[in-house]
Structure 1
Amino acid sequence: MKTAAAVLAASAISLALVGCTSSNDDESTTTTTTGNALDRASAAVSSAAEAAQGAVSSAQSAAQGAVSSAQSAASSLADRATGAVDAIQAGTFTAAFRAGYPELAEGRDDAAIEDIYAQTCAAIDQNIDESTVIAELEVRAGNNGTLATEQQAKQIYNIAKPLC
């Protein structure tokens, strides 16, 4: 009976020691598992933050690209509108020149008459004196070796000036 009591006591002590060891291992495992979970959660948060920052950066780049494209399109439309207005003005001058001065327009294509308009506008834009521009128009608008009269040159100037 003493032997059985000794075996029982030894078993109880062994179980108690194993329980303590297991308990310590569980705490260690729990601490390690908790530490790993925190590390993984921290890594996930960092990864999500980096992804969000990348998404914001991509969105900013896309927005800047869209703004740049819109500005380019607006500039292109403005250039085309300006070109259309210039063409209408040059066409108006050409039609008025042909109608008012058929002898000066004879044998000239539209480009030659538009050149008279362009040079007249350039002189006006440079603030060249009106009498000087009119004198130049007598030569420029002349045709087939005949100069335009001063009166014709003055009228041509008056047609061109508001269109410039």
Structure 2
Amino acid sequence: MIRTTAALAASATLFALLLTGCGDDKASSTPSSSAPAAQSNGDAQVVDNVKAGAFVVSFRGAFPKLADGKDDTKIAGILSDTCKEIKASKSEDDVVKSITKRASGKAEATPEEAKAIYQMAKMMC
């Protein structure tokens, strides 16, 4: 129940950050050196740095055990890879299974956590 509440709080925070960033596209089109890169293995950038940064903050807040030991780039990669799978029309179940693998580290992501991460990512893709 606590993890679900944390995921809901993260989603609300993420939504607020998205609304804040929806104004001027010029700000999000120039990459910031302090924002994590949402690229994985040199692939073309799937999400912009503002969204990746918002995802990282939300992920760390909602899933501190999953974030433990991961740097911002690795967490942003979860978003980027998830967006690639969603845009490739993979089924939700397949994407959630992939998220479970990508998000797990020192702690393993539960199915509920992976589903919450999927929902957060889907809003940002």
> C-alpha separation between the residues in 2 aligned to 1:143 and 1:101?
12
Report what 1:110 is aligned to.
72
- Higher CA-based Rg: 1
Q: For 2:86 and 2:30, locate their aligned partners in 1 and report how far apart those are by CA, in whole Å.
A: 19
Contact kept? 2:56, 2:76, Cα under 8 Å: yes
TM-score (norm 2): 0.63
The percentage of aligned residue pairs carrying the same residue is 36
**Gap regions ≥5 residues in structure 2:** 1-24, 32-46
Report Cα offsets for 1:105-138 as digits up to 9, x if no partner. Answer: 0111100101111100000110110010001111
Give the Cα separation in 2 of the matches to 1:83 and 1:132: 33
* Deviation of the 1:147 alpha carbon: 2.3
Out of 148, 152, 160, which is 2:109 matched to?
A: 148
Report the secondary structure of 1:108's partner residue: coil
Aligned residues: 86
What is the aligned counterpart of 2:29 among 78, 82, 102? 82
Query: Where is the helix percentage greater, Structure 1 or Structure 2?
Result: 1
TM-score by length of 1: 0.49
Bigger relative CO (Cα 8 Å, ≥ 6 apart): 2
